Structure 1
């Protein structure tokens, strides 16, 4: 059921909505299910899967139903994700024959463009920003670093008591360091780790 509603927010019905299209489809799915007697916790699970299906990595650590919606989208639209390397060619061809969709890539990108074009702010931090950056004339992609640097909170921080200031430059350096550590899979040193390294050097 979640897969049926996952891109509903890109349709004409939601051309005045200002929230993310994922949330439009998620809210509609929950309303549809609860109106038909589906328990609230199950309807919420469907909503959760739809709301998060374009979030990177997060859905893969949640309930199986949430994972399945994301896996479905990744495999169908991107050709990546769980199972893409084990899907037999004959199986893929059978699915395409049963559910043909001509000009799929162009039509998909068109939907991803027209759906959020009237609400560009909702695309920030989302894959839809890539689409608007490519196809929407006059669109300026928000930059996370620039937003922090231009934050109006700077004067407030400068009046903080000594020792309580948190400069944006320090915040950016910390974020950059954390990102580089994750990409290198560096494990933080611990007292135990230091002892182990000393033992390794002695041996």
Structure 2
């Protein structure tokens, strides 16, 4: 399948890729070589394919660039002033390219979310029940928000709160002692997946 779609969004664009046996992995080995340079050391073939497919997707959105990862594992473009965020789930990869710090998260909707909900849901979040769809929205929104800065001391339950404006529009608030900001988060669904991505960051 390969490239599924490139979509223009506020402040940037999003690319989607579906992993396929037809992916040109040989070509992927020669591009964006700073992104997971030790990918061959991964024993899991699916993870290796994900990395190479991510390179192919990045090549579609910003072909003359490369991706490095900072000390926390957050991806950054090597050249230019744009920002990047990456997410994958099963056979799909999402990549957000933006003119400001950004975050994207892709999640399949399933009952596993019920087990981890107590670890990320707080009393101020927009959902206070066990609805699987809404819990997945909350999780994806917090993941996308976390990736804006990607600092490990940001805790989902203690520091991040999500409010809902409409069915597809949310606002996130970060109350970390050393990093306070809010952002708009957009939500889209396709098949059995939810995609959350930030569209505007307001630092305090």
Alignment TM class, shorter chain as reference: under 0.3
TM-score, normalised via structure 2 length: 0.22
Greater percentage in helix: 1
> Could you say which structure has the higher strand fraction?
2
Q: TM-score, normalised by structure 1?
A: 0.22
